[in-house]
A and B are shown apart, each in its own frame.
Chain A
Amino acid sequence: DVKVTQSSRYLVKRTGEKVFLECVQDMDHENMFWYRQDPGLGLRLIYFSYDVKMKEKGDIPEGYSVSREKKERFSLILESASTNQTSMYLCASSPRQRITDTQYFGPGTRLTVL
């Protein structure tokens, strides 16, 4: 079974702090994704990566950056956390070979910015 793990289930940070959210997958997938999930808005794509050191902006990249130094690991960085970044963050991965391949999700990190 594919396993996607996220470094923390719950995180509380203060405004202005730099925040790192880590995601690791164990299935050698090329594609990795970061979403945020908010009530009434569903999932919105922040960034995705289709290979090591490659990244593309999703629908809401402002205030975020990402890093992918190794194939299995995709990090989401909040350079200066703000209260409007309080949300549930979900990481996902998928292989690239077939157009219809499923995305596999981690359990999520619930981030609160005070």
Chain B
Amino acid sequence: AQSVTQLGSHVSVSEGALVLLRCNYSSSVPPYLFWYVQYPNQGLQLLLKYTTGATLVKGINGFEAEFKKSETSFHLTKPSAHMSDAAEYFCAVIRTSNTGNQFYFGTGTSLTVIP
């Protein structure tokens, strides 16, 4: 079963508008949740992560995400989009084992920011 589902492979927003990227996870996995961003021709960079504690997590570049256990969601938001936010965004979960952690990534959401 898919561990992470990202709804919408492409999202377009106007500059200054709200950014909302959706991520739902399988309820069978522990709720260690991550958002990564990939700028063109670069590797992935951590935006934010939820492990324990406060369910609203703040990350870099003004992004935040809220862990909602009842909805098995971890949606990424930013109040006001900037042109530099155009990138691909990946939601990920951790599956633990005795030998280490495996990350399972969603299929990604490409964000376009329209001037």
Spell out A's residues near B (CB within 8 Å).
Answer: 4, 9, 30-31, 33, 35, 40-45, 48, 50, 54, 56, 58, 90, 92, 94, 96, 99-103, 105-108
Contacts and interface: CB of A to CB of B under 8 A. Distances in A.
Interface stretch (B68-76, B77-85, B99-107): B99-107
A40 B94 CA distance: 21
B34 interface: yes
Contacts of B49: 100, 102
Nearest to B51: A100
Contacts of B44: 43, 90, 92, 103, 105
B100 A48 contact: yes
Interface of B: 9, 32, 34, 36, 41-46, 49, 51, 90, 94, 96, 99-108
B107 A45 contact: no
B105 A43 contact: yes
A99 B96 CA distance: 7
**6 nearest A-B residue pairs (beta carbon):** A105-B43, A42-B107, A43-B105, A100-B51, A50-B100, A105-B44
Nearest to A35: B105
Contacts of A44: 105
Nearest to A110: B41
Contacts of B105: 35, 42-44
A60 to B, nearest CB: 13
Contacts of B108: 42
Contact of A99 (B43, B90, B94): B94
